[in-house]
Structure 1
């Protein structure tokens, strides 16, 4: 083998790798995202997941691409780690189809039809068709199909070029001796892993090994450990894709590595123990392309059959290697928390509705807790307290999603009229509770700004805000109690309470403007105070909605706006008396501004 043969081999390798890239890229484009949707929807059954992973990888010709795709799904939360394991195992099986396709290049016969089966024979025809599609057809899907055909032709041309360039090596003694060194399983394993990690494709790495077999100098004793190492080396791509991703995504890439490492160890021990007992005669025979494909397939199929029943153990091992943080532990507790809203209860609508109602009450208690903590922060900022409010708000959001989703499913069942009205009330109520928790976070943000800029309200403004805060705390507490007890009399007192809070807000604005004119308050603090009072006022509005939603349970054809309009607000009415009582209870310190 001279310098020009070396250049030819490198050129063949370049064509091979580019063909692999073009083929995979074209197939992914032609799928139009359908492969991703299939992966998302068909992974609940682990055996189906294995078959799916094998099928997808056989199509796109790259286990690395499938695994990276799965890591992306896990990272985005679309797919659970437990669902990903089956696909990762299947991807290892699916990638072996490439080695079988490449083994067809070794067909030797004068028979016309057998010669036609060789990819190097029919790939030029595919290349011509592909070029026509790319250059002369405007349809995007057909152009993608053209890329696939051209990619396949380039892949096969590169494979044939490498094989032809390496044939002279069979006569070079130092080269033959070099590959004889790989009869040491550990060394062969490392070489296979290193080469595959560098080119980031086990299919390409196996293809190169098949091309080397054309020299006739590589026997199965050298080839077997190299093939096993290639399966470990292909994990490099997935490991790199996990960098900077979520912990679960990194665990998915770790599972890929564990599967191949454990499978390799088991296969090596079992294979060489049997070899020591039986003495496989074929080990000293020259390896060919079909033999390489058979070993590659055999290893991946056997490893999958052995490790599939232990998929849960692989998941636990990945959890040990990448330990869960507090957020993940909290997420696990939340998942357990929402387990009582079981879809099986939907067959008993009344019971399912009561389950949802109990969760709505818990959500209300959390919302009240978030508001109280946020209000405390306005007067004594605490970083941990602020973070706790944000975490509670996230949990309230989860309650909103879970309860709303459950109620939507329940709404399609055969509900009685009272249950139907209660379901509607709950849907509206959880939305109001979620908005109150959002406003609690807004209050924390105001406190953060004041703490960062080391600003404080004046003594009078602080006293007024404390009274106003207490009024809002109390209306939230009263509204939560209304939801918990379904007390209609208490519900009727919420709207006049909200009216009193509106009046208090207007009075606070007047007093603030007076202080601003006298230079006792800065405009910047004025904006913050306005944000706080506006958030408080909106919280009171949502409390009013909660009460009105509850009253609608017992009043046919009554809508929130109609109810408010019908209320008698004249002086001396029940509404006015409750409103005046609230104004007296939460009277702002100092003289009122006219």
Structure 2
């Protein structure tokens, strides 16, 4: 029996590898379109649900879609309601995989593997290699199904194994719950509901599981898949990310619980629907195999998720309210001085990893903006104690830069598409220029420190000019941070206009300062501090323009 175990496990491993390759290939080839679709998602819950189903059907993984959506919520690119609506759709979209498996395309497995290897390893264009990943993954997936089937074939007549599988009898409450728990546990272990559904189909086709037993396992597998979203929130301080994950878990757990209450009726509904679509009897045996049961399982999986999504779309506001109650409490103040905590949970999903990094870059920009505002206030109130923290903040921005650049480098070293590589380059440019903003704020703080310690004052005209330049720089920073969330249509025109205005103001104010020096209205010491402030404010404008180009994807 060791051979049976090894062969079955090897087939499952091949299935998971094929699923992973196919998902990665689809993400790589369709990454730009996925992000465009997600960024244009409507606030209408039905449209959001349909979009989630479509995107998941494209990437063949509800886990990948859910992780991406958690990342978008963390980055502030979509609302909690939008993300939850799309997660409902993702659960429907993932049933496409089970439908694909049920078509019994095992004869195409070896030709697909051969074609996929040629495209992946013997072609030059990246897009062609990604298509090779999809085809090779498709072949491995179905070949894995064949290997699992061969591995399980010898135990169909073994009394010990038959006695074991009779425990998966949903005719009793205990047997029904056992099926659900085992299905959930297996999915948590392999992190893929498609893999466990594929295994369930194989067991059922070998006559080791009845159709009701297989459907109970599938319901459990729908609960197990929620662990992916929960893992994606580990280390995240974003409240809405936790809420989205909680809503996803509630959606599946409550849906399965309600379905278990009417389980016999649900099974009969699936059988009637599948027979009506032209399939043969569920228990038809040909050559020792139960030939139609995979189609019944796929249809049951789809029907459950469609019913579930339809019900929760109607009560979506209440679902979100309960998710909020079950999530960590929202903090009153923004946690500016927290280092990013990336970990490894998203590194295998570049789209989601990039979105998460973008959210941390946004937080870094907000930290720099917050520090700038706190620092320039000291020009007016000359409060030395409140100014004293600038060095600590500058060190924190340096640490954030190191963490973000290191993580972006790790993403870049994985298998990323050309568009993702370009986006990573832009994100690095943004990060480095935000850190340079911090350096200039440090120089401004030192200049104000010198001004306070030396009891230096500026003329009313000089102070007025300085305040106008500070306001213009603050306006530029506001524009940048707003565009990092959602870029306006005429963004670069606004950025170019602000950059030119800041340069012109700095030149004009410096010329005015020279005139005041000549007329002895201003002293040498005050003049040095004043010029330093003008120079560093103008530099912040330059860095903001560099960030604007990166946000717009120009560099």
What is the RMSD of the two structures over their aligned residues, measured on CA atoms?
4.4
CA distance in 2, matches of 1:538, 1:247: 36
1:121 CA displacement: 1.6
Give 1:372 deviation, angstroms. Answer: 4.5
The CA deviation string for residues 527-568 of structure 1, in whole angstroms up to 9 with x for no partner, is xx955773279889x9xxxxxxxxxxxxxxxxxxxxxxxxxx
Q: Cα distance, 1:193 vs. partner?
A: 1.0
The answer for the alignment partner of 1:534 in structure 2 is 532
Q: Whole-Å Cα distance in 2 between the matches of residues 33 and 504 of structure 1?
A: 59
Distance in structure 1 (CA, Å) of the matches to 2:313 and 2:13: 36
Equivalent-residue separation in structure 1 for 2:513 and 2:146 (angstroms):
85
> SS state of the match for residue 230, structure 2?
helix
Counterpart of 1:468? 458
**Structure 2, unpaired ranges of 5+:** 276-281, 284-289, 337-371, 394-436, 471-507, 541-555
Query: Which residue in the other structure is 1:220 paired with?
Result: 211
Per-residue CA deviations over 1:247-296 (Å, capped at 9, x if unaligned) read 322322222212111211222223368899xxx9x9x9789212211221
Residue aligning to 1:175: 161
Please report how far the alpha carbon of residue 39 of structure 1 lies from its aligned counterpart in structure 2 after TM superposition.
Answer: 1.6
Q: Which residue in 2 is equivalent to 1:24?
A: 23
Residue 377 to residue 225, structure 1, CA distance change in 2 (3 Å) = farther
Distance 1:371 1:136, change over 3 A: closer
Change (3 A) 1:234 1:219: same
In structure 2, do the counterparts of structure 1 residues 211 and 368 end up closer, same or farther at CA, with 3 Å as the change threshold? Answer: closer
Counterpart of 2:44 in structure 1 is 45
The answer as to whether partners of 1:242 and 1:249 remain within 8 angstroms in 2 is yes
Cα-to-partner distance string for 1:337-390 (whole Å, 9 max, x where unaligned): xxxxxxxxxxxxxxxxxxxxxxxxxxxxxx9998555543543437799999xx
Look at both structures and tell me which one has the larger radius of gyration over its CA atoms: 1
How many correspondences in the alignment? 401
TM-score (norm. length: structure 1): 0.58
Q: Determine if contact 2:390/2:442 at 8 Å carries over to the other structure.
A: no
After TM superposition, the structure 1 = structure 2 runs for residues 96-495 of structure 1, keeping only pairs within 5 Å, are 96-105=95-104, 119-182=105-168, 183=170, 184-245=175-236, 246-271=238-263, 288-320=293-325, 321-327=327-333, 371-373=376-378, 375-381=380-386, 445-446=445-446, 462=453, 464-465=455-456, 467-468=457-458
Change over 3 Å in CA distance of 1:536–1:438 after alignment to 2: farther
Distance 2:332 2:391 in 1: 17
Worse-matched range after superposition: 470-479 or 173-182 = 470-479
Q: Do the aligned residues in 1 keep the contact of 2:201 with 2:297 (CA within 8 Å)?
A: yes
Counterpart contact for 2:98–2:197, Cα < 8 Å: yes
In structure 2, relative to structure 1, the CA distance for the partners of 1:505 and 1:131 (3 Å cut) is farther
Structure 1 gaps of 5+ residues are 106-118, 331-366, 389-436, 451-456, 481-493, 513-528, 543-594
**Taking structure 2 as the reference length, what is the TM-score of the superposition?**
0.61
Give the SS at the match of 2:262: helix
Deviation at 1:83, TM superposition (A): 1.6
- Residue 465 of structure 2 contacts residue 509 of structure 2 at CA under 8 Å; is this kept in 1? no
Q: 1:92 to 1:384 in 2, by over 3 A?
A: same
Structure 2 Cα separation of the partners of residues 305 and 70 of structure 1: 20
Question: How far does the alpha carbon of each residue in 1:94-129 deviate from its partner, in whole angstroms, 9 at most, with x for none?
Answer: 111111221222xxxxxxxxxxxxx11223333333
- Structure 1, residues 181-210: CA drift from partner, whole Å, max 9, x if none? 333232222211111011111111100111
| Residue 212 of structure 1, CA deviation | 0.9
Partner Cα separation in structure 2 for residue 31 and residue 25 of structure 1:
10
CA contact (8 A) 2:8 2:148 kept: yes
Change (3 A) 1:507 1:536: farther
Shift of 1:301: 0.6
Alignment partners' CA distance in 2, 1:227 and 1:210: 10
> What is the Cα deviation at residue 214 of structure 1?
2.4
- Change beyond 3 A, Cα 1:153–1:470: same
Asked if structure 2 preserves the Cα contact closer than 8 Å seen for 1:375 and 1:469, the reply is: no
Deviation, 1:439, is 12
C-alpha distance in structure 1 between counterparts of 2:306 and 2:452, whole Å: 74
How many angstroms apart in 2 are the aligned matches of 1:176 and 1:469? 94
Residues 375, 445 of structure 2: 8 Å contact kept: no
Q: Is the 8 A contact 2:462 2:513 kept in 1?
A: no
Give, in whole Å, the separation in 2 of the partners of 1:318 and 1:505: 68
> What SS does the aligned partner of 1:464 have?
coil
Q: Is the 8 A contact 1:378 1:443 kept in 2?
A: no
8 Å CA contact retained: 1:96, 1:296: yes
1:500 is displaced (CA, Å) by: 9.7
Q: What is the aligned partner in structure 2 of residue 521 from structure 1?
A: none
SS of match in other structure, 1:181: coil
For residue 446 of structure 2, give the secondary structure of its aligned residue in structure 1: helix
> Matched residues in 2 for 1:208 and 1:236: separation?
19
* Cα distance between partner residues in 1 of 2:510 and 2:248: 62
The structure with the greater share of residues assigned to helix is 1
Aligned mates of 2:97, 2:378 — CA distance in 1: 61
Which residue pairs with 2:368 in the alignment? none
Greater RCO (Cα-Cα under 8 Å, separation 6 or more): 2
8 Å CA contact retained: 2:384, 2:452: no
CA separation of 1:185 and 1:139: change in aligned 2, threshold 3 A: same
